[in-house]
């Protein structure tokens, strides 16, 4: 049996997740365009759109978080310290080259 659009509805959680996924995908495309952009006016326009979608993505994330639809696990201090150390090592390697 085929369902039409009017027969299918998304829950609030699914709709917000879909919106979040779209914004993340758009940010990926804008990021790629920014990297490949060869003129300053083009890059400025892309950066403006990227920033706009980054803000939208974060607002959607905040709404999902507030409604309990998105669970964030705090990082353990040991993991943070380990990543900070790894970053410091890479930074030193780059500076030495």
Which structural domain range is residue 71 located in? 11-96
Structure tokens at 28: 């990926």
Contact 13, 69 (CB under 8 A): yes
**Residue 21 is assigned to a structural domain of this protein:** yes
**Residue 1 is assigned to a structural domain of this protein:** no
pLDDT value at residue 29? 96
**Residue 2 is assigned to a structural domain of this protein:** no
**Residue 34 is assigned to a structural domain of this protein:** yes
Residue with tokens 């030193």: 92
Low-confidence ranges of the chain (pLDDT < 70): 1-7
Degrees to nearest 5, angle at CA 21 with 67 and 28: 135
Q: How many domains does the chain have?
A: 1
**Residue 26 is assigned to a structural domain of this protein:** yes
Q: What's this model's pTM, rounded to 2 decimal places?
A: 0.69
Give whole-number Cα distances, 84 to 17, 76, 81, 92, in Å.
Answer: 31, 12, 5, 12
């Amino acid at each position: 049996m085929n369902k039409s659009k009017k027969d299918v509805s998304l829950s609030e959680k699914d709709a917000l997740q879909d919106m979040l996924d779209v914004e993340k995908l758009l940010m990926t495309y804008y990021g790629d365009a920014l990297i490949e952009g060869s003129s300053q006016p083009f890059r400025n326009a892309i950066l403006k759109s990227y920033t706009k979608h980054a803000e939208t993505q974060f607002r959607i994330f905040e709404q999902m978080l507030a409604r309990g639809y998105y669970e964030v696990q705090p990082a353990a201090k040991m993991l943070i310290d380990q990543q900070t150390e790894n970053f410091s090592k890479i930074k030193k390697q780059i500076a030495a080259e």
